[in-house]
Structure 1
């Protein structure tokens, strides 16, 4: 038995209120964005943090820290001013899982090229959005191509996803959530982009939760899965489908392993009715 839409909204709002506090920032790479005040630094640091957000949490945070240490206190200005050779020297020896310093240097050089050509990363995305109104995927394709245009050898391809390949693009959607939404968790330095058109960053936790809630039955996290899960959350919160993403991901990271356990956990928090009639996820 699925929970009624109205009941589910109440429970998710309760979960949102619980986790929408900066005390939880240290569990997420978005914490690094909050260190900076200027929109230029925030959008660049967010780009770095989101695109290194794979692997174990401690490893992710340590790798982001190493990149930021090499860029100094004003990372956006540094990336705008540094040549590819200077970035290669700065990132020499950097390793995060399969990402090496050369890939990071070229990725940052691409970001610098976009900023030099368009004024900022946000301005470049706004232009891509204006050329593809209401088409999040096409806007992402156009925007990501700007980065790859600065890296003809595509050494940095391990960092920048290709939305045209129908992948889930979790890191790109995570970055957009940070840049567009604004609450205690998401800093939202970009203006003028509609929250309603964001797609969820579907990681392993959100994929499971999307299945448990009946939003998708797909076992592979690809573009279609992302669209289906986002559509499910859009029915609950049309103006902001990513509203519950951070809170639900915290719940997913807490170790729940099936649908019944998720609803039991919500009940313990006083957020969900008796789950006795709920069938476990198969």
Structure 2
């Protein structure tokens, strides 16, 4: 397939899958339950952090997280008590357990009260066109308060080579335009042109079959290779192709 044909094919698939029906089977439905900016951010962040494994289980456990916060995530983050955090005991999603969840709430409080919120701490420096260093720096801030060492594994670090799939997915949700009703377009201080495709098994395999990715590992070097191709196809909105790659892999078994 020629590059022009490949671009047309991916444009068509991106347009096909970026619609309101996508929300019904995706963890993005959790932040769509809210209207307050900070509620959307926190619900989106926590849902993205546990977004690995069975999608139905991810959605059910993300809903449970919201219920444990009284379905008011921002208010809970700011005003929770240790007694309220104790109600998290027994919560588990794969390797993310109640102690991890409790720390995430404490850290989010620190981020909103001491660092002006997630939008600020995840923003790349001026003149930087990618999120590698920004995600690394965010992880340093996230774990600047007392924590269990085991909890650090739940925030990936692209400086150490990780593809940081879940953080990149969360960034797509927050930054990309909301015109089709799927992503939120909340973070106007960020640029969609600088986003990275959330690279997982599905998107990676499809990208390789379509020859837009040759690297075998799903790591940060693969992200950089994929960036080059997708940014050439659409410099302003390269991550719209996440819908195409994911849809082809999950819905079409491409």
How many residues align? The count is: 252
Partner of 1:280: none
Superposed structure 1 runs of 4+ greater than 4 Å apart: none
Alpha-carbon distance between aligned partners in 1 of 2:229 and 2:77, rounded to the nearest angstrom: 39
Query: Is 2:36 the counterpart of 1:38?
Result: yes
Partner of 1:250: 247
Partner of 2:168: 173
TM value normalised by structure 1: 0.84
Deviations 1:40-93 (Å, cap 9, x if unpaired)?
Answer: 01110110110010110111011101100010132111112224x345313111
Unpaired segments ≥5 residues, structure 1? 257-261, 263-282
Deviations 1:115-174 (Å, cap 9, x if unpaired)?
Answer: 111222112223xx2367334201111112111112443342232112322111100111
Contact 1:168 1:226 survives alignment (8 Å): yes
Partner of 2:73: 75
Per the alignment, do residues 234 and 195 of structure 1 end up closer, same or farther by CA in structure 2, a change over 3 Å counting?
Answer: same
Per the alignment, do residues 39 and 7 of structure 1 end up closer, same or farther by CA in structure 2, a change over 3 Å counting?
Answer: same
> 1:177-256 counterparts in 2 under 5 A?
177-183=172-178, 184-254=181-251, 256=253
Partner of 1:274: none
Per the alignment, do residues 78 and 134 of structure 1 end up closer, same or farther by CA in structure 2, a change over 3 Å counting?
Answer: same
Alpha-carbon distance between aligned partners in 1 of 2:244 and 2:43, rounded to the nearest angstrom: 22
Partner of 1:267: none
Per the alignment, do residues 158 and 63 of structure 1 end up closer, same or farther by CA in structure 2, a change over 3 Å counting?
Answer: farther
3-state DSSP class of the match of 2:187?
A: coil
Contact 1:132 1:138 survives alignment (8 Å): no
Partner of 1:273: none
Unpaired segments ≥5 residues, structure 2? none
Residue of structure 2 aligned with 1:160, choices 147, 155, 159:
155
Deviations 1:227-247 (Å, cap 9, x if unpaired)?
Answer: 111211111111111012123
Alpha-carbon distance between aligned partners in 2 of 1:16 and 1:179, rounded to the nearest angstrom: 18
Query: Is 2:109 the counterpart of 1:112?
Result: yes
**Highest Rg: 1 or 2?**
1
Q: Alpha carbon RMSD of aligned pairs, Å?
A: 1.7
Measured after TM superposition, the shift of residue 109 of structure 1 is 1.3
TM value normalised by structure 2: 0.93
Alpha-carbon distance between aligned partners in 1 of 2:163 and 2:15, rounded to the nearest angstrom: 27
Per the alignment, do residues 224 and 51 of structure 1 end up closer, same or farther by CA in structure 2, a change over 3 Å counting?
Answer: same
Alpha-carbon distance between aligned partners in 1 of 2:160 and 2:209, rounded to the nearest angstrom: 26
